[in-house]
Amino acid sequence: MSKDPALAELQDRIGHRFKDRELLIRALTHSSFGDGAGDRSNNERLEFLGDRILGLLTAEKLYETFADVAEGGLAPRLNALVRRETCARVALDAGIDKALRLSKSEERGGGREKDSILGDACEAMIGALYLDGGLKVARHFYDSFWKKELKKVIDKPRDPKTALQEWALAQGYDVPRYTIVGRSGPDHAPKFKVEVSLEGVKPERGKGSSKQAAERNAAEALFKRETDNG
């Protein structure tokens, strides 16, 4: 269908040949490409659609997988499976990063490695697959590339911040406090360092490409240390 080897390789990897070539190209086109030619030329509208389909597919999968788990146990798992960092990892696994269309400045700024761009492109791809082949095709992509992520929520069902807060309150501590203690890197690719603390407990720190990611990593480190020692 296309002479572009990156597009051909991506379609081979995801197991779907697009009938509508423009849908595939649009899903891979960041808003910076072509000096921001408008939202009908980039993947923002497809990302909006794909985000909703991803939520549906994830809710469906969790409903089937955890038949005896109440809603309160499903919600944090869903949040873990649809968050930006998860979608970014899937984008890398699927090879979406190699086929992205970015502006030269975004390319130089490491756009192919940014969680925000990768995550949005992954959701846009889901939207494009849905429009090109229906829910069955979108579900095939989800089932293929969310396997590893699903295993993680089976083993670690709760968000690290939720797990830490529940443990802290059960032990008689106050709610954990999160403080940004460092930020580095350029504005387009920042790195955050966050410290989480509980009164009377040695704090832990976490790093991440966003404040939220750094907080989760810090919470996970403190929770693991305290529960392993306990």
Residues with catalytic annotation?
Answer: 51, 123
| Rounded-to-integer distance, Cα 200 and Cα 217, Å | 20
Residue 221 backbone class (left: φ over 0; alpha: ψ -120 to 50; beta: rest)? alpha
Between CA 89 and CA 99, with CA 93 as vertex, the angle to 5 degrees is 100
Using the 8-state DSSP alphabet, how is residue 204 labeled? E
Give 171's contacts (C-beta < 8 A, 6+ positions apart).
none
- Residue-wise DSSP of 37-60: --TTTSSHHHHHHHHHHHHHHHHH
